[in-house]
A and B are shown apart, each in its own frame.
Chain A
């Protein structure tokens, strides 16, 4: 495997976007997961939720046209789509915890084979900040992670047990990585798709827990983005 033989961030985002159905209510985590919104398949339109109180927000406005009372959870300026709604924070998190969102897609430091997620804190130093991450992992019908398969130094991010502080327990059901698409069922990583140029052995070697196969593994193929 060369460094090039993995999906780019845009390609990971594209792949995740293919699974979002038309009309789905979706929350994308701050930062990289927000990129998923760019790659909705033609003819499908998801409705994006942001924790600070907007449903159906759109892209950033042109520079200079920002309204700083119209921001997303990452405090970036956004626009509204026709049919948008505002609401207060208790309603916003009722949408989250109450099972009203179809999909939440979050970043990860580590995901365990039991579906535990660590994504808010590396250690005990510095100023801790959690935001809405611990709420977002509960309630959406599907809670997914989108992440590089390994860290910058090559350590697996998919592990038997998280070593970083947890965001939530047994909450993740699907992972989109730079190498593979993996479901979590019954406390196991189940491989659904992998890069066609990567052998099972190569993929397993970069994964910190056993990958299980239940049905033929698909090819993870995306456009050049």
Chain B
């Protein structure tokens, strides 16, 4: 078994117009910048993007939005230190938003990966984010029914990966990544270090390879927060 792709462009080549795409990361930690930028080079349109945030600065998801590729964001916090890309399109009515509480977003994704079509949570009960959703009482407390969330693709950043797709992550860059690996029909992962099967201690595997379809090695990957602080932007093809 060998899930390696030759490069980022090949790894994301199946993502077409209209796809629902989960993108890992929380802010800049765990954001698969090289895969996102390869997707910008291919430029599929009318995408639904699922992420905790909605991009920052002029790179990553923000650059996808700037390029007109994103029709809808499903996220918990579409604000950042430089939220221009999303804010401008949202206020102009050019991008849709489904706002989901952060823990509900995580659990909806987990449920999607775990084959659980709906679940009940206390989160958002009595608030505008629960409007229209079924409510049920358990042991005297009200809960909100939430649906699973699945995607056509997940694009993910991990630290180490082996040829079977087993993954480890770097510190808090783990965040949504293991959940999204489970919840997408096809999961594409960039890893800093790609090793042969057996190169990761099975005791240390965080995401088992069954949840991973394609892997591409990106040694010394860009870190989104560091890029933003350096004033970098991405418009496709090159870093100006």
Interface of A toward B, CB cutoff 8 Å: 50-54, 67-71, 75, 86-90, 92-93, 96-97, 116, 126-135, 138-139, 165-169
Contact = CB atoms under 8 A, between A and B. Distances in A.
Contact of B106 (A90, A138, A139, A166): A90
A138 B121 CA distance: 9
B28 A68 contact: yes
* Residue among A53, A132, A134, A139 facing the most chain B CB atoms (10 A cut-off): A134
Given A51-B102, A54-B172, 4 more contacts: A68-B225, A127-B78, A130-B100, A135-B123
Contacts of B87: 127
Nearest to A170: B126
A69 B29 contact: yes
B106 A134 contact: no
A135 B104 contact: yes
A96 B127 contact: no
12 contacts: A51-B102, A69-B29, A70-B29, A86-B169, A89-B175, A93-B102, A97-B122, A126-B91, A129-B77, A130-B101, A132-B103, A168-B127
A contact patch SS: loop
Given A75-B225, A88-B178, A52 B26 contact: yes
Interface in B25-69: 26-30, 52
Contacts of A132: 76, 101-103
Contacts of B101: 130-135
B212 to A, nearest CB: 15
Interface in B140-155: none
A134 B129 contact: yes
A96 B104 CA distance: 11
A127 B86 contact: yes
A92 B106 CA distance: 9
A166 B225 CA distance: 32
Given A69-B223, A93-B103, A135-B102, A127 B91 contact: yes
B29 A88 contact: no
Contacts of A129: 76-79, 99
B184 interface: no
A68 B174 CA distance: 12
B226 to A, nearest CB: 6
Contacts of B30: 69
B106 A86 contact: no
Contacts of B125: 168-169
A130 B76 contact: yes
A123 to B, nearest CB: 12
Given A51-B102, A88-B177, A127-B86, A71 B27 contact: yes
Given A93-B107, A97-B123, A166-B127, A131 B172 contact: no
A53 B175 contact: yes
B122 A165 contact: no
Contacts of B121: 97, 138
Contacts of B208: none
Max chain A C-beta neighbours (<10 A), residue from B101, B102, B174, B179: B102
Contacts of B52: 89
Contact of A53 (B28, B78, B124, B174): B174
A97 B144 CA distance: 13
B211 interface: no
B128 interface: yes
Nearest to A67: B171
A92 B109 CA distance: 14
A168 B105 CA distance: 17
Nearest to A134: B101
A219 B19 CA distance: 61
Contacts of B100: 130
B128 A165 contact: yes
